[in-house]
Amino acid sequence: MVSILEDPVVLDCPAPETMCIMSGRSKMTRPVSISHQQILDAAREVFFEHGFVGASTSRIARRAKVSEGSLYTHFPTKQALFRAAMDLPQPPVASMNDRVGQGDIKENLEAMAVDSIRFLMQLLPRLMMRWSNRGEAGVPKSKASLDVLVVFTKYFEAEIALGRLRAGDPQIMARVFMGSLWNFCFLRILAGDQSMTAETYAHRLAACLVDGIGPTADS
């Protein structure tokens, strides 16, 4: 995994990385801080729009508002830039672990769903791009989705043990929940589905699941 440096690097290269301040006849040039993240964000956009082959380093440099030479001071090759731009995000498992036995289950599932959708909307395009360019990025392997599935399973197991959900199969509950989130993201990414927002989908999904697996009135 390629690390992303958060500290900005000050460049001393010519426009468009510099800003000019005019005062009478004098002109003073001040360098603008360009971070790895700015370049990665621009590269990611261009790779998604044009693919690996069509995304030239000159096009990426223009999008990032740096010179092509400056691009290579951050990343030695186009392949290195591609691997860094398609680095896989980390799942939001920490926030999910704190919800067991707390608050309203529907609200918990809704919040977990929204967090997971945000994560998947970053993960899936990068996985697909890496898979279609395996020669440049290597075969994509990510345990992130499995980590989320484990957290979902443990959440359902714990809530069942506390009596906040009626007895059932927590592994299947977790897969139904997660599969629904993947479905939302796939349709949004591949088919352009805009029929509902992530928040609306999460709210309705949580309500549907709890109505089906929540405790009955006589339990």
Residue 171 forms part of a structural domain: yes
**Among 85, 120, 135, residue at a domain's last position:** 85
Q: How many CB atoms are closer than 10 A to CB 91? A: 22
Q: Are residues 195 and 136 in the same domain?
A: yes
201 and 97 in a common domain? yes
Residue 130 lies in a domain: yes
Residue-wise pLDDT tens digits, 90-149: 887 766 767 787 888 999 999 999 999 999 999 888 888 888 876 665 656 667 778 888
| Counts of helices then strands in the chain (DSSP H, E) | 10, 4
CATH number at residue 183: 1.10.357.10
Which CATH number fits the domain that encloses residue 21? 1.10.10.60
Residue 215 confidence (pLDDT): 63
Enter the tokens of residue 13.
Answer: 């290269």
Cα 10 to Cα 48: distance, rounded to the nearest angstrom: 27
Instruction: Specify the DSSP element, H or E, that contains 176.
Output: helix 170-190
**pTM, to two decimals:** 0.71
Asked if 156 and 88 count as a contact pair (C-beta separation under 8 A), the reply is no
pLDDT of residue 141: 65
Query: Which parts of the chain are beta strand (E)?
Result: 9-10, 18-23, 26-31, 33-34
Question: Domain range holding 67?
Answer: 9-85
In the predicted structure, residue 154 carries a pLDDT above the cut 50: yes
pLDDT for residue 2 is more than 80: no
pLDDT per position as a tens digit, 35-60: 778 889 999 999 998 888 888 999 99
Number of domains forming the structure of the chain: 2
Q: Helix, strand, coil proportions of the chain in percent (round to 5)?
A: 60, 5, 30
HSE value, Cβ hemisphere, 13 Å, CA-based, for 146:
3
Domain boundary (85, 117, 142) is at: 85
The answer to whether position 2 is within a domain reads: no
DSSP string for residues in 6-55:
-S-EE----TTSEEEEEETTEEEEEEPEE-HHHHHHHHHHHHHHHHHHH-
Q: Does residue 137 sit within a domain?
A: yes
One domain for residues 97 and 202: yes
Of the listed ranges 16-30, 65-79, 159-173, 184-198, the least confidently predicted one is: 16-30
Residue 80 lies in a domain: yes
